[in-house]
Structure 1
Amino acid sequence: MGTTQLETVPEPKYWHLRTVLSEALDSEFTVGEVLPNERELAARFGVARATLRQALEQLELEGRLHRRRGVGTTVAPPRVGVEVGPDGPAWPDASDDTWQPVDSDLSTPPAAVSTALALPRGIAVHTVRRSRVSHGHPVAAELLYVPESSVPGLHLPDAPSGPARARAVLRELQHLDLVAQNRSVELGSARADDAKQLDRLPGAPVLVVTTHFTTPTRLAALSVATYRADTCRLTFGATGGVEIEEGAA
């Protein structure tokens, strides 16, 4: 590996190094490949290790790198596309390979969810938990809130918890006539439980995608999916022709 000298530029040195490193990731490395150690990288680019660390931290924040103790710094997989557009309405599918059912139970939802579902405070609903993984890394965690009145024919398995219960609720939803599926997206901070599932620190930036599932008579279910902001991109429109990839090189 040769030595690459950085040209003199008015922007911060670490930021220029971040750009050079990003180009190297695209041309010289593959997803999952371990980068050389800090000493070798600093020598290659002729910078102090403190400058190198700033650039690596920035690329990690942008989702280009994964840095793990005992493993090193590896090239992260491409961002996961999150479709937010006028696609036809569809219930979450129990056989969808994209999302893995984790669990389901009857529990009291947050007050805002109860209000949206027009339920009195304190009324329990079926809370289905699903997870989404890409290239072996967790990228999203979902909570799907389903009132008991939306699944009157539900027959739960004997198991008190687990994926089978989640799939049973999802299958029963398919019997409802879904007429609209409205999504909204906002930037948020990972709560403690979300952070644990997504392998992030509490407070890390996340994308919160809220989906309202509406039948001809009412809002029948509500989903809150929390995506890692450093691993996802948003696509708008039926063809996904417009993409937002903040921080992605």
Structure 2
Amino acid sequence: MVRDGARPGEHKYVAVRAYLADLVTTELSVGDAIPSERSLTEKFGVSRMTVRQAIDALVTEGVLERAQGRGTFVAPPRADFEMRLTTFGEEARRRGLTPGATVLRCEQRPSPAAVAEALDREVGTPVHHVVRLRTADGNPMSVEESWIPVDLAPDLLDDGVPESIYAALRERGLDPTWGEEVITAADATPEELEALQMQG
């Protein structure tokens, strides 16, 4: 527990964040204000930027929330938070729909730069590349693209594309534990238009 400053050698940002997280858990309740930025800078002997970085991290995680002109407070628990990543099939079945998949592309190829960066690999590292049309009750829902490092699961596609890539990874002791979802708008490719039965 960090109460009066950072332990020797500990990054000061980490110490401030740990202190605030501990404060939320042990002393504060939902809606309570956290200590002011000024008091935290004095307590830890750090810059206000370092304090804000620690607070920003906890805001992003949903532990704290900011109120314009009022300060920063303990946030209420997030509702309906999934502690386990779910697959398209699991989510479809949860909604009472029958999931389906049509393989549009299945190959082993060198990883492009953006993929290599996301997977923390060197550019050109071999990856399994799978593109599938996902359906629910026979209706096209999305085009799903998966990139899996070959070194993690070299035999992943030996018997074709598994019904559930997540399940196949879990069977190999590679249970996905973290995910990031980004939603953007973009023009569909001709292949996507055809798969999704859309007009350009």
TM interval, shorter chain, is 0.3 to 0.5
TM-score by length of structure 1 reads 0.37
Q: Which has the larger radius of gyration?
A: 2
Give the number of the structure with larger relative contact order, counting CA–CA contacts within 8 Å between residues 6 or more apart.
1
Structure with the higher fraction of residues in helix conformation: 2
